[in-house]
Amino acid sequence: MTSILIFSGSARQGAFSKQLAAAATTLINGEGGKPTLIDLADFEVPLYNADLEAESGIPQPAVDFWRLVASHDGMAIATPEYNGFVTPLLLKMLCWASRPSPGDDFGTVFQGRPVALMASSPGRLGGVRVIPRLRDIVAELGMIAIPGFVTVPDAASAFTEQGRLVEHRKEEEVVCLVRRLMTASRRG
Ligand SMILES: Cc1cc2nc3c(=O)[nH]c(=O)nc-3n(C[C@H](O)[C@H](O)[C@H](O)COP(=O)(O)O)c2cc1C
């Protein structure tokens, strides 16, 4: 069964992007995948600082995150954009998890790993500006960004109380993306 690690780029309780990640988790299940939904807020790390790394190494939550990445076949990220850019929460975790560490495979965990990109916003553009920026970052880390993406505009009214996407068409877009992700992530 294809395992997918999925998370949002927001720490906010009730974040729209967390709702999108949760909706995608349900859809991955429906497609026969094995999703693991995590909350990056549970993996508290400081901003990357080389002095900190020299003093105390990679923070344990980054190691825990790294291990989760390593134990899944693929990844899916649902994120808001902050000023059109990637959120600090996401960026700092990717920074830490990309660091090499003696005796470990740190720095290579992302290599060749398929990742699907999604964004959401209460605004009308759905956070679309973050997609090419995030695509550049994940490519730099060696990941394979799945062609296409999903954005959810007007996110405040985009989800049902049961956590599904209100618009069937939008749900279909997520299903198409996760199918491509699962095909790319399948091993052997
Ligand atoms: C610092 C900051 C910058 C933001 N920049 C954007 C932006 O560029 N585009 C946008 O659509 N929304 C922007 N927003 C609004 C967010 O989309 C909104 O707060 C959203 O709810 C955050 O995502 P979340 O619900 O997943 O936490 C910004 C919010 C903050 C706090």
pLDDT digit string (tens) for the chain, length 188 residues: 999 999 999 999 999 999 999 999 999 999 999 999 999 999 999 999 999 999 999 999 999 999 999 999 999 999 999 999 999 999 999 999 998 765 666 668 899 999 999 999 999 999 999 999 999 999 999 999 999 999 999 999 999 999 999 999 999 999 999 999 999 999 75
CA of 85 to the centre of ligand 1 (A): 10
Question: pLDDT per residue over 58-82, tens digit each?
Answer: 999 999 999 999 999 999 999 999 9
Question: pLDDT per residue over 88-114, tens digit each?
Answer: 999 999 999 998 765 666 668 899 999
Q: What is the pLDDT of residue 108?
A: 82
Residue 89 backbone dihedrals phi, psi, to 5 degrees: -55, -50
Nearest residue to 36 (alpha-carbon basis) of 1, 62, 10: 1
Whether the predicted model's global pTM rises above the 0.95 cut: yes
Q: What is the pLDDT of residue 188?
A: 53
10 Å Cβ neighbour count for 35?
23
The burial class, CB within 10 Å (0-12 / 13-18 / 19+), for 42 is: exposed
Q: What is the pLDDT of residue 107?
A: 66
Q: What is the pLDDT of residue 36?
A: 98
E strand residue ranges, the chain: 3-8, 34-38, 74-79, 114-120, 144-145, 150-152
DSSP state, residue 72: S
CA 17 to ligand 1: nearest atom: 26
Q: What is the pLDDT of residue 187?
A: 74
Domains and CATH numbers, the chain: 3-185 (3.40.50.360)
Q: From atom 1 of ligand 1, which residue's Cα is the shortest distance away?
A: 82
**Residue 146 to residue 152: CA distance in whole angstroms:** 18
Q: What is the pLDDT of residue 100?
A: 75
Q: From atom 3 of ligand 1, which residue's Cα is the shortest distance away?
A: 82
CA of 149 to the centre of ligand 1 (A): 18
Q: What is the pLDDT of residue 78?
A: 98
Residue 61 backbone dihedrals phi, psi, to 5 degrees: -60, -30
Contact between 66 and 8 under an 8 Å Cβ cutoff? The reply is no
CA 79 to ligand 1: nearest atom: 26
With residue 50 as reference, give the H or E element that holds it.
helix 50-56
Q: Give 101-144 as a 3 state SS string.
A: CCCCCCCCCCCCCEEEEEEECCCCCCCCCHHHHHHHHHHHCCCE
Of 77, 79, 81, best ligand 1 pocket probe by most atoms within 8 Å of the beta carbon: 81
Ligand 1, residues at Cβ distance < 6 Å = 10, 12, 15-17, 80-84, 120-123, 125, 127
